[in-house]
A and B are shown apart, each in its own frame.
Chain A
Amino acid sequence: MNKPIRVVSVFCLVLFLALLVNSTYLMYVRADDLSDDPRNRRVITAAYSRERGAILVGNDAIARSVPSDDRYEFQRTYTQPLKYAPVTGYFSFYGQTGIERSQNAVLSGDDSRLFVTRLVDMLSNSDPQGGNVQLTIDAAAQDAAWEGLENLPGDAQGAVVALEPTTGRVLAMASTPTFDPNNLASHDFGAVRDLSVELNNDPRQPLINRGIGTTLPPGSTFKLVTAAAAIESGDYDADSMVPGGFRFQLPQSTTSVGNYDGGDCGGRRITLTQALQVSCNVTFLSLANELGVEAMADQAEAFGFNSTSLEDLGGQATSLYPRDMDPPQTALSGIGQSNVTATPLQMAMVVAAIANDGDVMRPYVVDEVRAPNLSVLDRTDPETISKAISSTTADELTRMMVETVSSGTATPAQIPGVEVAGKTGTAQSTPDRPPYAWFVSFAPADEPQVAVAVLVQSSDTSRSEIAGGRLGGPIAKAVMEAVISQ
């Protein structure tokens, strides 16, 4: 009977091997998927019961977990909730956004980089603790951005994004209207559910991080891209004579487009610098028309349009420069109208690239990942995404932008003793809505430390007063000053 017993033995071996393989599959291969399942209550409950790591700006914890005396051991607390909500996001029983979501593994302590810490916690039988996330945000810049937005007249919707041109570090990211993540982190889940319904249905969309989540026509700030494409084509430089005048007749169309103030930009033929200085529509309409959709799209994509680049935060909207535009649309795209849309982050990346000799850096918000004892586990390295323009083109554009600030439309951004490069934008979407005000700039022009994009989507400013320079300029100036003066 021994032969069949051996057969049975092999059969049993197969059964047990199947058990081992299957449990490995379940508990190792599928583990992450299972833990990510939104219905997995134990993960959320555990996250609530555990000491979640802090989110740090400088030496301050803007989000941390403090002991709580109710059935969950810790309460998530945000010390400057409104100001930092677009970056931190919220941590609620029903979900997470922002850094709370993207860095959840680190904050909750599940990240593989925290394996040793976890092991030590387990062996010492102490409660596991999450790691900390150090942000790239500069507290002074963030303060300036936030105060600038808050001081806008009325119930303004706007956003500010500031980057360090040489690295892509996000120095400031503010958005209004905003929300208080403390209320969403409450342990009163009924109230949290009601509040999140309310916030989601709010027409002012307070949950949206407008710095990365709102795309709007970039208006005249896009003229920088048009100018870059023109200079890169080799046919133009800052001193080239370009068409000025009152109106531009769109190709294949009876429509003609005039300048913002109805003027003639200072003559029928002006220099490219002058055109940017006064934000001459006619010039950039004709340049875009001449360059064509392919050249314009290539340039826009080199700056980061049609793709997303920010990996540290969810919810980044894709800035668009469609390749299927017809000639009149292409001409209009030259002044940031038509189907071109951009996020404030994207426009900040454009000026940052100009400031950084043409290199587009990947924007990032997470500077360092730290263990609970604050020892550094991982540090984000700056990464070049593309070479958008040559450094000579960058120099030319910088020179033109400096002129725009010193004696053009962007004068509100002047900083005494510092050379500032900037560009305004006032974009029209539909006639019945007030235009959007844009402002992009960087400083100091010779050794850039900060690049800023400001968007004021709507405010109670009377329609005639809305202009990128007047609304956005002072905010950009404050942010730049905050960085430079350090």
Chain B
Amino acid sequence: MSQNGALMGFVHRRRRGAELFLLVLALAVGIGAYAAVGLGVEGVVPADLAGYGGWLTALIVVAHVTVRIVAPYADPVLLPLVAALNGLGLAILRRLDLTYEANGLDQHTFARQQLTWMTLGVILFVATLVLLRDHRSLQRLTYTSGLAGILLLILPFLPVIGGEINGARIWINVAGFSFQPGEVAKVLLVVAFSGYLVLHRDALALAGRRVVFVDLPRGRDLGPILAMFGVSMMILVLQNDLGSSLLFFGLFLAMLYVATERPGWLVVGGLLFAAGALAAYTFVGNVQNRFNFWLHPMDYYEASPGSGQLVEAMFGMGWGGLIGRGLGNGFPERVPFAYSDFILSTVGEELGLTAVMAIVLCYGLIVERALRIALISRDGFGKLMALGLGAIIALQVFVVIGGVTGLIPLTGLTTPFLSYGGSSLVANWVVVALLLRISDQARRPAPRLDPVDDSVADSESTQVVKLR
């Protein structure tokens, strides 16, 4: 309790000035990289630099001003990190556009489209912060958002709107727009898990029996975890998407563990996932292939399906070395899907290990901020939500960067804020808005417990017992 007392006594500062300063740095990264792309590829500063830079600056300023007004105590580091990553991602996409254009491919408007998506993302970011004044009101939507999340996950299976792109059935097409509902579903599921777990954590935590040092959960409490396991396996088998499957299950497991404080759940979940992965490895050819490509990428370089994409990415990153070839001096077009899942290989090739490390550290800091928000948050729901949102980013970054650099088997996932992709970008901006909202609540000075409104005279004449 003494520790708690000390925490209660600590008053967070708003630090909006620090945020502004960091945002200026982030803008310098984004706009500077955009200018460097023009210099590197075409030898001139891009003609639209002023327009582009102005637009980017405007978006960031709007986001910052919104935070200033409606969430003044929010964490000051998150927004700059996100701004830097998004700006760098735009510059890399622009670099890829120029290459695709030079090679006569018709897909060369990724940067422009991404800027549009970013605009939409910032609008939703602002809307989230303005409309959601207290994250706890989301707790009311526990079951609604859970249902919506599951529905979104099922959408790609529906005829007409559901579609298969590059072997994974994770897209829907509506009116010419393709959309990955899974990206939104993961936010909804975090909300649903948080609400569910905060209510049932006692039951989940206390009931059960101890078997050889491990507290095993009660049979009937296994229901939700089995359900989530089923959903994950469904994604894996039916959608052919190992990455999302790992992401959802890992997310659920982390939240369950934190809510119940019982490592037993991790054991159960880990065993379940291992069993599922083994079954998938045995019965799903695609998963088997990915394992082989991961273990022996060089042997499958020219096979089809093969590890060509991974090996090309490794060649590119190896070639980039410590400081990279310089923007415009690499061959990122040799890596298929360099603009989405494999955007990090372009970064590695042209900006080097230095930039890759910087990006990993940026993600690391985002996760660290999210977990810190979870630590200082005053309510269980907020704690769980912040943790879930942080875990999503951590898992997604680990799975995709680990896959691209050959640390783990390759799975298709977007790199948050960097990869091209509207659904992912918009969803991640909302994630940031939610994190900021929770942190604003958490960092706000605690409500005073002593009756400060009483007049001095009253306090002299009346016996008031001060709590501190």
Contact = CB atoms under 8 A, between A and B. Distances in A.
Contact of A23 (B357, B375, B397): B357
Interface stretch (B133-141, B182-190, B257-265, B426-434): B257-265
A22 B356 CA distance: 11
A16 interface: yes
Interface stretch (A41-49, A138-146, A296-304): A41-49
Interface of B: 39-40, 254, 257-259, 261, 298, 301-302, 311-312, 314-323, 325-326, 329-331, 334, 348, 352-353, 356-357, 360-361, 363-364, 367-368, 371, 374-375, 380, 383-384, 387, 390-391, 394, 397-398, 401-402, 405-407
B334 A5 contact: no
A20 to B, nearest CB: 6
Contacts of A28: 321-322, 353
Interface stretch (A29-37, A230-238, A286-294, A316-324): A29-37
Interface stretch (A7-15, A306-314, A340-348, A454-462): A7-15
- Kindly name the residue among A6, A15, A46 whose own CB sees the greatest number of chain B CB atoms within 10 A: A15
A27 interface: yes
A197 interface: no
A40 B406 contact: no
Contacts, number: 133
Nearest to B348: A27
Contact of A12 (B317, B330, B394): B394
A26 B315 CA distance: 9
A23 B356 contact: yes
A2 B375 contact: yes
21 contacts: A1-B374, A3-B261, A4-B257, A5-B371, A8-B391, A13-B364, A16-B364, A16-B394, A18-B407, A19-B402, A19-B407, A23-B317, A30-B314, A32-B318, A33-B318, A35-B315, A35-B319, A37-B315, A42-B334, A45-B331, A125-B39
Contact of A5 (B317, B329, B374): B374
Contacts of B387: 5, 8
A24 to B, nearest CB: 6
A50 to B, nearest CB: 9
Nearest to A10: B371
Q: Is the interface of A mostly helix, strand, loop or mixed?
A: helix
A46 B298 CA distance: 21
Contacts of A40: 315, 319
A375 B223 CA distance: 74
A18 B401 CA distance: 10
Given A8-B254, A20-B357, A27-B353, A1 B380 contact: yes
Contacts of A128: 329
B383 A9 contact: no
Contacts of A15: 394, 398
A377 interface: no
A2 B377 CA distance: 10
Contacts of A41: 334
Nearest to B367: A12
B261 A8 contact: no
Given A9-B368, A28-B353, A19 B360 contact: yes
A433 interface: no
Given A5-B387, A19-B401, A27-B353, A42 B316 contact: yes
Given A3-B261, A26-B314, A42-B315, A12 B320 contact: no
A20 B257 CA distance: 26
Contacts of A37: 298, 315
A16 B406 contact: no
A15 B368 CA distance: 12
A128 to B, nearest CB: 8
A32 B352 CA distance: 14
B244 to A, nearest CB: 18
A122 interface: yes
Interface in A107-158: 119, 122, 125, 127-128
Given A5-B375, A18-B402, A28-B321, A34 B258 contact: no
B386 to A, nearest CB: 9
- Kindly name the residue among A1, A13, A16, A20 whose own CB sees the greatest number of chain B CB atoms within 10 A: A1
Nearest to A127: B329
A4 B321 CA distance: 38
B317 A125 contact: no
Contacts of A23: 317, 348, 353, 356-357, 360, 401, 405
A9 B363 CA distance: 13
Contact of B360 (A5, A16, A30, A43): A16
B78 to A, nearest CB: 16
A41 to B, nearest CB: 7
B365 to A, nearest CB: 10
Contacts of A30: 314, 318
A5 B258 contact: yes
A415 to B, nearest CB: 54
Nearest to A39: B301
Interface string A389-422: 0000000000000000000000000000000000
Nearest to B315: A40
Contact of A46 (B317, B331, B406): B331
Interface string A244-270: 000000000000000000000000000
Contact of A26 (B254, B318, B325): B318
A7 B254 CA distance: 10
Contacts of A24: 353, 357
Given A5-B258, A15-B394, A19-B401, A42 B367 contact: no
A1 B259 contact: yes
Contact of B356 (A5, A18, A27, A122): A27
B405 A22 contact: yes
Given A1-B383, A23-B360, A125 B319 contact: no
Given A5-B375, A19-B407, A27 B352 contact: yes
